[in-house]
Amino acid sequence: MPATMPIVITVARQLGSGGSYIGQRVARRLGYAYIDRQILQQAAEALGVEEAVLEDRDERLQGFWERLLTVFALGPPDGTYTPPPHLVTDADLIETERRLIPQLATRGPCVVLGHGGFHLLRGRVRLLNVFVHAPLEFRVARVMGIYHAESENEAVRTIERSDHERRRYIQNFTGADWFDARNYHLTIDTGVVDFALAEQLIAALAERLPEEYTWPWVKQPI
């Protein structure tokens, strides 16, 4: 084990808040690895499936109809069982990511986007957990611009669905409430704090992380 643990920043974010963009900016600023796509890529490799099979499962659980179709894919109960191709359950994917994320975080300083990193790496020294959020109006404008939603109503539905799926995923994955501020060391409202300032705040805080600490870092007066 190296004498000094590498700094790891986890970024949880609401869709349309700019969290992934900020995470990339922080990684570039500090010269850290940016871990996002690698999680899905390595999970697919570990599970022996094509990455495309897991594309729609990123930070979301299968719905009722998806699970039902998986059962149907197994064939009739009285038939000969033939394992279907690319059958990956939520439990398979979650357990694989549970192993992968801590491994990826030991390779050097990095920014880990989403995937319950704040929980999986808890107790680790030199860890900074960040949650990026924003008012609905701010997020709607970004979703319409980035994802080309045809109307505000469509953007709102997309945002609400994303929030619901990510919260459900984190609850099942970690047992934690995704929206609970106690999971994070820093929460940023990008409706008030612009992206450049958010980048500066996160980078400055990360660079102050001591080799070992117990929160709070600065002893408060009694």
- Establish if 71 belongs to a structural domain: no
Q: Per the domain annotation, does 35 fall within a domain?
A: yes
The kind and range of the H/E element at 67 are helix 64-73
Note whether residue 125 is domain-resident. Answer: yes
159 lies in some domain? yes
The answer to whether residue 215 is domain-embedded is no
Tokens linked to 123: 């107790």
Specify the pLDDT at position 3: 53
Q: Per the domain annotation, does 1 fall within a domain? A: no
Please answer whether residues 166 and 132 qualify as being in contact, where contact means their C-beta atoms are separated by less than 8 angstroms.
no
| pLDDT string in tens for the chain (222-residue length) | 445 788 999 999 999 999 999 999 999 999 999 998 888 788 788 877 776 666 665 655 444 333 333 433 344 445 444 444 456 777 777 788 788 888 888 889 999 998 888 988 988 889 999 999 999 999 999 999 988 888 999 999 999 999 998 898 888 878 889 999 999 999 999 999 999 999 999 999 998 887 765 444 444 443
pLDDT tens per residue, range 50-108: 766 666 656 554 443 333 334 333 444 454 444 444 567 777 777 887 888 888 888 89
Helices (H) and strands (E) in the chain, counts: 9, 5
Kindly report the pTM of this predicted structure.
Answer: 0.79
pLDDT for the residue numbered 217: 46
> Which CATH number belongs to the domain containing residue 187 in this structure?
3.40.50.300
Distance CA 17, CA 163 (A): 12
Q: How far apart are CA 112 and CA 101, in angstroms?
A: 8
Q: Cα separations (Å) of 80 from 74, 75, 83, 92? A: 9, 8, 10, 24
Domain that includes residue 55, residue range: 8-62+90-207
Residue 67 lies in a domain: no
Question: Is residue 78 domain-resident?
Answer: no
Q: Which amino acid is at 118?
A: F
Q: How many domains does the chain have?
A: 1
- For residues 62 and 92, is the Cβ–Cβ distance under 8 A? no
Instruction: Find the helix or strand (DSSP H, E) in which 95 lies.
Output: helix 90-105
Q: Report the pLDDT value the prediction gives residue 91, as an integer from 0 to 100.
A: 77
DSSP code, position 182 = G
